[in-house]
Amino acid sequence: MTAMIDVTDAKKTFTMHLQGGIELPVVSGVTFNVNPGECVVLSGPSGAGKSSILKMIFGNYRCDSGRIGIRHRGVVVDLATAEPRQVLNIRRATIGYVSQFLRAVPRVATIDVVAEPLIAGGMSRADAQARAGELLHRLNIPERLWQLPPATFSGGEQQRVNIARGFISDLPILLLDEPTASLDAANRAVVVELIAEKKRGGVAMVAIVHDDEIRHLIADRIVDVTSFAAAA
């Protein structure tokens, strides 16, 4: 089987020019792959570099060296050396990222925040809003909130809007950073169900979850990030 994500010997260091140029090693020798329909969970203590690895796979952090192989429209592209416009194309068609926090454009209604990735992908506004409504409904966001911008919502509500936005597209790769962190049991169960549906649809996923129960429910494989700890 051909992997959707193939990370080889990736390395990341921050150079802090405002602090006298000190080097802050984050991770090195990061090597693992993810197949279609598989959920790999990154494990390791806080500060071990789990989120940094997700950001490197999304192209949000640049790599110092190594390779981030992404299968994009049938061709393997090295995201670590891809041009910005190609990274944008890969994000539009291949990689979705669900961060811990919602970073929505202000003044946009919740239903449109969720529907936006589908509209950007060419779907009509009405169809996209219908799909968004279904997901918001499943995630227990009451319909009376859909026309409001999510800025004033509670932390858990904002996270569910974020999850709806992240799960609405049919992208073949999803990166999940603590998708259940501030959710109650009922909503955690919905997210576990959504992840299972993505697996059946052949989506390759990399997730960070601290909750042992959730990890047990979603992980097909666990990659221990402490083995990628960069030498200080």
Partner 1 sequence: MSVQARLLDLLRSLVAELNLAVVIVTHDLAVARLLSHRVMVMKGGRVIETGLTDQVLDDPREPYTQLLVSSILPP
For binding to partner 1 (CB under 8 A), which residues are involved?
Answer: 14-18, 55, 59-62, 84-85, 87-88, 105-107
Which residue's CB is nearer to partner 1, number 74 or number 84? 84
Least Å distance, CB 221 to partner 1, is 28
Provide the minimum distance between the beta carbon of 18 and partner 1 in the complex, in angstroms, as a whole number: 6
Closest CB to partner 1 among residues 171, 219: 171
d(CA 196, CA 44): 23
Rounded to a whole number of angstroms, the minimum distance from the CB of residue 139 to partner 1 is: 25
Compare residues 80 and 194 and give the one whose CB is closer to partner 1: 80
Closest approach, Cβ 55 to partner 1, in A, equals 7
CB-wise, 38 or 112, nearer to partner 1? 112
